[in-house]
């Protein structure tokens, strides 16, 4: 710039004092900390940005003596022009005059700021006392400022000019000073560049768009509480989002959206994502919006998660024009630092900033939601090779239960304790805010099986898929077995969901007749506390006999052999007291691990040690076995033949069809090992 540290001579060759600009800053008001050294002006942030769209321009009077910089110690050097950086600070409220903030620029005179207010001052390079000056400023946006001002001692600040820009952009500020009185002074001129720019975080995607594999850092959960025409309708993260948001081509492709980044709209998506404890934050893509082209800018960030601080080193941004704005995009972001060492559901609070040259522009915050799991996903030990997708229920139940726990055993115990309450609420995600509320309890069937005949009066139907189970809040044993296994899997603990009928060592009951396998005919009666064996009136293993009749379309079991007493308190998940009292033998799922066997449908055992053998489980869970028999008459002889398990008993045993009996045996008399 003309006169920057150099002397200007007049035509007669005599060196004369002149005026130079000493500072260009953003949203700055002159304050009294001018002691920063020769030709250095310390300035401070004003109370806030200008209100309203109109630009404003105001010259300022020179400071008093206490505000002036120290005199130059240049000795015999002739009067000369000087320039130095000023201070600037972005802020949300007033700043004290003593706080000079952050330098707006380091290479005088260009400056970039997120504040629309710009100020620069003109100082005397040499003693200009006795001279008068006229200053003109063209702010580059069609507005100008003029001011007459007197000279002063060497390095004294003579005048400051303020301007508030109404629109973002890069402006060339031209100033010139002419001498109006005095013959020993000369004028000066120069041009600054000021960029007024704001940046707003618009979108963040944590895992790659195509990622579906459990264990992928940043993988989004799946919303699992919705039905469509009676069928489960899980909502994937990348299927949800507004049609239009901040000029993005595909808003639904992101986990976090701030549609107000382009000046309209609001926060419209906050989808929880998954990271393992002790890992780091990785982001596939982050998008920011600025009305100004900031080509060459870089992105930095600080993330706060569960008391841990992680940082993102400066990363190049790509600037692309999108309508009237520019999209700044950065990808493959890896933060340094580690996530909490123990599991928990946390806010993922990222503070972003954009740097361009020496200027730093705040880019806002993205406050997302993260499930920090105890460890990386570990697939359950089962015949199924396909892992269950990351339904939010599986993540929320496990992570909340295990919050703060350290080590696999402590995590397992905490999660199993949640199952023993039989009171697991369905987590309901609000995908716009990221809030998770408690919905209905997840129930094991429902109440209503009050009699033995209800085995056929209320058929249990087919086992729903886990997606259907979660959407309807009602499931069978397989659903709860897989749910526990998958809840643990997402915490890095691999267990085995075990169908009893395929489990080596499980006793299915005595065969009902020679050559007839119990597994095709027998029922296992659930919970010894609910069944009472009375009078033994038959022969063979199944000697406790009752009659089955059909009255008004309902099966009725009557007699003195066996009675069922429904529980008056909850005995299964969903705080259900009267689930089905019996099942086809072996038709139940439990979960096994090195800790032992547990029954997630009933939350048993109530401690975390588990049943140590399958026989221990069977003795605690099974009251006995029963088989439906029907009479077959050959001449004058009647034989009682076992009936294959069927739900059509109300027709099969109806009057005029077949005479039927329900025969049972206690577990202890069944021949079980």
**DSSP letters along 599-664, please?**
BTTTTBSSSSS-BSSHHHHHHHHEEEEEEEEEEEEETTEEEEEEPPP-S-HHHHTSTTT--EEEEE
pLDDT tens for 112-136 read 888 888 888 888 888 999 999 999 9
Strand duo 231-232 + 256-258: pairing:
unpaired
Q: How sure is the predictor about 105, in pLDDT bands with cuts at 50, 70 and 90?
A: very low
Judged against a pLDDT cut of 90, whether residue 509 lies above it is answered with yes
Q: Is the dihedral of CA 566, 571, 572, 574 positive or negative?
A: positive
Whether the CB-CB separation of 175 and 190 falls below 8 Å is answered with yes
pLDDT tens for 610-625 read 999 999 999 999 999 9
Judged against a pLDDT cut of 50, whether residue 73 lies above it is answered with no
Judged against a pLDDT cut of 70, whether residue 352 lies above it is answered with yes
DSSP state of 230: T
Q: How sure is the predictor about 1, in pLDDT bands with cuts at 50, 70 and 90?
A: very low
Which whole number is the average pLDDT over 66-72? 34
Q: How sure is the predictor about 515, in pLDDT bands with cuts at 50, 70 and 90?
A: confident
Own/partner contacts of 213-216, CB < 8 Å, gap of 24 or more, are: 213/387, 214/377, 214/379, 214/387, 214/389, 214/390, 214/489, 214/490, 215/276, 215/376, 215/377
Confidence at residue 92, expressed as pLDDT on a 0 to 100 scale: 29
- Lowest model confidence (mean pLDDT) among 19-23, 218-222, 294-298: 19-23
Judged against a pLDDT cut of 60, whether residue 209 lies above it is answered with yes
Confidence at residue 629, expressed as pLDDT on a 0 to 100 scale: 95
Q: How far apart are the C-alpha atoms of 642 and 353, rounded to whole Å? A: 76
pLDDT tens for 135-191 read 999 999 999 999 999 999 998 999 999 999 998 888 999 999 999 998 889 888 888
Q: How sure is the predictor about 264, in pLDDT bands with cuts at 50, 70 and 90?
A: low
Closest by alpha carbon to 557, among 541, 539, 576, 581? Answer: 581
Confidence at residue 364, expressed as pLDDT on a 0 to 100 scale: 92
- Lowest model confidence (mean pLDDT) among 89-93, 148-152, 368-372, 580-584: 89-93
| Most confident of the ranges 22-31, 383-392, 567-576 | 567-576
Q: What percent of the chain has pLDDT over 90?
A: 67
pLDDT tens for 229-247 read 999 999 999 999 988 888 8
Of residues 621 and 78, which shows the higher confidence score? 621
Q: How far apart are the C-alpha atoms of 270 and 429, rounded to whole Å? A: 10
Confidence at residue 86, expressed as pLDDT on a 0 to 100 scale: 33
Confidence at residue 267, expressed as pLDDT on a 0 to 100 scale: 62
Confidence at residue 30, expressed as pLDDT on a 0 to 100 scale: 23
Which whole number is the average pLDDT over 428-454? 95
Judged against a pLDDT cut of 50, whether residue 95 lies above it is answered with no
Q: How sure is the predictor about 461, in pLDDT bands with cuts at 50, 70 and 90?
A: confident
Q: How sure is the predictor about 6, in pLDDT bands with cuts at 50, 70 and 90?
A: very low
Token pair, residue 324, equals 């009237």
Confidence at residue 88, expressed as pLDDT on a 0 to 100 scale: 28
Distance of CA 43 to the CA centre of its chain: 41
**Full-model pTM:** 0.81
Q: How far apart are the C-alpha atoms of 414 and 408, rounded to whole Å? A: 10
Which whole number is the average pLDDT over 416-433? 96
* Residue-averaged pLDDT of the chain: 84
Q: Peptide bond preceding 671: is omega within 30 degrees of 0, i.e. cis?
A: no
Confidence at residue 385, expressed as pLDDT on a 0 to 100 scale: 64
Q: 328, exposed or middle or buried, with CB in 10 Å at 0-12, 13-18, 19+?
A: buried
Q: How sure is the predictor about 266, in pLDDT bands with cuts at 50, 70 and 90?
A: low
CA distances in angstroms from 186 to 124, 148, 153, 387, 416, listed in the order given: 10, 15, 15, 81, 86
Confidence at residue 170, expressed as pLDDT on a 0 to 100 scale: 87
Of residues 108 and 633, which shows the higher confidence score? 633
Confidence at residue 77, expressed as pLDDT on a 0 to 100 scale: 32
Judged against a pLDDT cut of 90, whether residue 212 lies above it is answered with yes
């Amino acid at each position: 710039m003309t006169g920057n540290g150099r002397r200007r001579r007049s035509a007669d060759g005599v060196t004369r004092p002149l005026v130079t600009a000493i500072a260009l800053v953003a949203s700055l008001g002159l304050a009294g900390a001018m002691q920063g050294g020769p030709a250095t002006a310390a300035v401070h942030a004003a109370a806030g940005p200008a209100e309203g769209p109109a630009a404003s321009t105001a010259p300022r009077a020179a400071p008093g003596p206490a505000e002036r910089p120290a005199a130059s110690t240049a000795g015999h050097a002739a009067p000369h022009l000087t320039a130095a950086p000023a201070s600037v600070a972005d802020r949300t409220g007033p700043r004290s005059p003593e706080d000079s903030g952050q330098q707006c620029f380091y290479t005088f005179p260009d400056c970039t700021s997120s504040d629309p207010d710009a100020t620069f001052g003109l100082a005397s390079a040499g003693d200009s006392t006795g001279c008068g000056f006229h200053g003109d400023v063209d702010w580059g946006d069609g507005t100008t400022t003029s001011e007459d001002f007197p000279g002063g001692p060497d390095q004294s600040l003579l005048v400051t000019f303020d301007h508030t820009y109404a629109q973002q952009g890069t402006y060339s500020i031209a100033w010139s000073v002419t001498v109006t009185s005095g013959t020993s002074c000369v004028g000066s001129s120069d041009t600054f560049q000021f960029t007024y720019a704001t940046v707003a975080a618009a979108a963040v995607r944590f895992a790659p768009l195509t990622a579906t594999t459990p264990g992928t850092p940043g993988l989004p959960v799946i919303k699992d509480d919705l039905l469509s025409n009676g069928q489960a309708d899980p909502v994937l993260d990348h299927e949800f989002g507004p049609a239009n948001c901040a000029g993005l081509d595909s808003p639904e492709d992101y986990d976090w959206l701030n549609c107000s980044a382009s000046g309209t709209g609001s926060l419209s998506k906050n989808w929880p994502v998954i990271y393992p404890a002790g890992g780091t934050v990785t982001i596939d893509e982050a998008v920011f919006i600025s009305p100004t082209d900031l080509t060459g800018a870089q992105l930095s960030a600080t993330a706060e998660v569960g008391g841990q601080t992680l940082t993102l080193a400066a990363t190049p941004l790509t600037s692309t024009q999108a309508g009237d704005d520019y999209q700044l995009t950065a990808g493959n972001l890896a933060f340094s630092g580690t996530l909490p060492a123990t599991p928990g559901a946390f806010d993922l609070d990222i503070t972003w900033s954009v740097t361009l040259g020496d200027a730093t522009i705040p880019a806002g915050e993205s406050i997302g939601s993260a499930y920090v799991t105890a460890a990386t996903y570990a697939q359950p030990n089962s015949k199924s090779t396909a892992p269950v997708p990351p339904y939010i229920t599986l993540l929320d139940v496990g992570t909340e239960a295990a919050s703060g726990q350290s080590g696999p055993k402590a995590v397992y115990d905490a999660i199993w304790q949640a199952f023993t309450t039989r009171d697991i609420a369905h987590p309901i995600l609000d995908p716009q805010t990221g809030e998770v509320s408690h919905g209905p309890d997840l129930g094991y069937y429902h109440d209503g099986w009050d009699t033995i005949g209800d085995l056929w009066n209320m058929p249990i139907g087919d086992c729903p898929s886990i997606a259907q189970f979660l959407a309807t809040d009602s499931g069978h044993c397989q659903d709860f077995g897989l749910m526990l296994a998958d809840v643990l899997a997402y915490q890095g603990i691999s267990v085995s969901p075990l169908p009893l009928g395929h489990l080596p060592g499980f006793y299915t009951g005595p065969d009902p007749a020679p050559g007839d396998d119990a597994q095709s005919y027998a029922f296992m009666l659930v919970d010894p506390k609910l069944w009472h064996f009375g009078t033994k009136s038959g022969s063979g293993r199944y000697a406790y006999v009752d009659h089955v009749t059909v009255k008004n379309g309902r099966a009725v079991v009557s007699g003195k052999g066996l009675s069922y007493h429904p529980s008056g308190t909850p005995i299964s998940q969903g705080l259900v007291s009267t689930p089905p009292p019996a099942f086809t033998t072996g038709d139940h799922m439990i979960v096994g691990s090195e800790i032992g066997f547990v029954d997630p449908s009933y939350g048993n055992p109530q401690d975390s040690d588990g049943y140590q053998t399958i026989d221990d489980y069977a003795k605690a869970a099974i009251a006995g076995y029963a088989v439906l028999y029907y009479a077959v008459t050959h001449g004058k002889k009647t034989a009682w033949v076992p009936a294959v398990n069927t739900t059509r008993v109300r027709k099969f045993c109806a009057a005029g069809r077949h005479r039927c009996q329900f025969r049972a045996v206690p577990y202890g008399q069944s021949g079980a090992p």
